[in-house]
Amino acid sequence: SLGEQLVEAATDASAAVVHAPSAVVGEIRGGATLPTAFTNAGTTVREVVNTAGSRVRTAVGEYVGASATLPNAVLVGAAEIVESVVRAQGTVAATTVNGAFGVATVAARGGDVWEAFGDERREVRAQAVVARGEIVESWRHARQHIEAARNVG
């Protein structure tokens, strides 16, 4: 389905971004300089994001071509919902990655890892609640937009 294809493309892009710091470390451990490591990781991320973008354009093009009779309001509403889900996924993933690095930093400095883990877990939960609220709001907005278009038509 279109939704699955969009989420898969966004997940691939997000995973590439999340993996980039570990790729930089791996490059440096392999003997690369920091600028070279950043360049290589950046190139990899760009390639994945470009591929994901192409997949999204193809999926949307095929969907719209097959659903030409679908009202614009429904397409716009669905796009807004998908966008909010993808943004929420990215925000929660970024918070999780930051938390993991935060816990790792505490561990490296000999701090209380359990306390840091608990703090970061609470932060991820809080961000998930915010993200969920944004998704619900996008559903509400899409519904209003569709209802308004139906009342006009």
Cα 122 to Cα 59: distance, rounded to the nearest angstrom: 36
DSSP string, 70-121: S-HHHHHHHHHHHHHHHHHHHHHHHHHHHHHHHHHHHHHTT--HHHHHHHHH
Say what the pLDDT of residue 69 is: 47
When pLDDT is averaged across residues 104-117 and rounded to a whole number, the result is 92
Tokens of 83: 């966008």
Confidence of residue 90 (pLDDT cuts 50, 70, 90): confident
Say what the pLDDT of residue 71 is: 65
Confidence of residue 147 (pLDDT cuts 50, 70, 90): confident
When pLDDT is averaged across residues 135-139 and rounded to a whole number, the result is 90
pTM: 0.58
DSSP H/E element including 14? helix 2-29
Say what the pLDDT of residue 67 is: 60
Residue 144 C-alpha from the chain's centroid: 25
| Per-residue pLDDT reduced to its tens digit, 27-52 | 889 999 888 888 888 888 888 888 88
